[in-house]
Amino acid sequence: MRVLGIDPGLTRCGVGVVDGSVGGTLTMVAAGAVRTPADDELPARLLGIERGVEQWLDEHRPDAVAVERVFAQHNVRTVMGTAQAGAIAVVCAARRGLPVALHTPSEVKAAITGSGRADKAQVGAMVARILRLDGPPRPADAADAVALAICHLWRGSAQARVARARQEFARRIELARQANGL
């Protein structure tokens, strides 16, 4: 399964593509950023983000897209840009019928480092270790996007394990009912 992680922002959208399977090793396919000039008007910037995200989708054909879920607890101006850029990323994926998952920054940190309060350096170090890289992907937004993709693969796996356990439980109940003629 291939996941495109997107860490949205007007100036820099971090993007990262990770291949992985349940219980298998994870491989980083590509990482980078979609940038738009800060002195461009908003319509041109959003159009630039749309084109950039489309290019990453065309080139890497992911099976799912993971986008950071934005909360407004930070700087208000930044958050507005993040919400706008994130909306464009989400709609690009949804238009292609790709499943889109939204993960909060603390879900990503907890998935990667075990702590929802880990700092950027710690997340970057763990991303490098998990993917067997010499160092965290650059720029920092790319590392965050790769972390999102890893989080999605692992959370998806965990959710799949829970779903399989539920099916197995239901199957045993059914067998027990049959054995007892119920």
Q: Which residues bind a copy of itself (CB under 8 A)?
A: 41-44, 46-47, 50, 70, 72, 76-77, 79-80, 83-88, 90-91, 93-95, 100, 102
| Sign of the dihedral through C-alpha 131, 17, 64, 84 | positive
Question: In 3D, which of 119, 83, 115, 121 has the Cα closest to residue 102?
Answer: 83
**DSSP H stretches of helix in the chain:** 42-60, 76-95, 105-113, 120-130, 140-179
Q: CB of 152: closest distance to a copy of itself in angstroms? A: 14
Q: CB of 53: closest distance to a copy of itself in angstroms? A: 11
Q: Is 68 annotated as contributing to ligand binding? A: yes
119 as an active site residue: the answer is: no
58 as an active site residue: the answer is: no
Nearer to a copy of itself, 91 or 165 (CB): 91
d(CA 170, CA 143): 40
168 as an active site residue: the answer is: no
d(CA 47, CA 19): 28
Nearer to a copy of itself, 94 or 160 (CB): 94
Q: Binding site: which residues?
A: 7, 68, 141
> What are the catalytic residues?
7, 68, 141
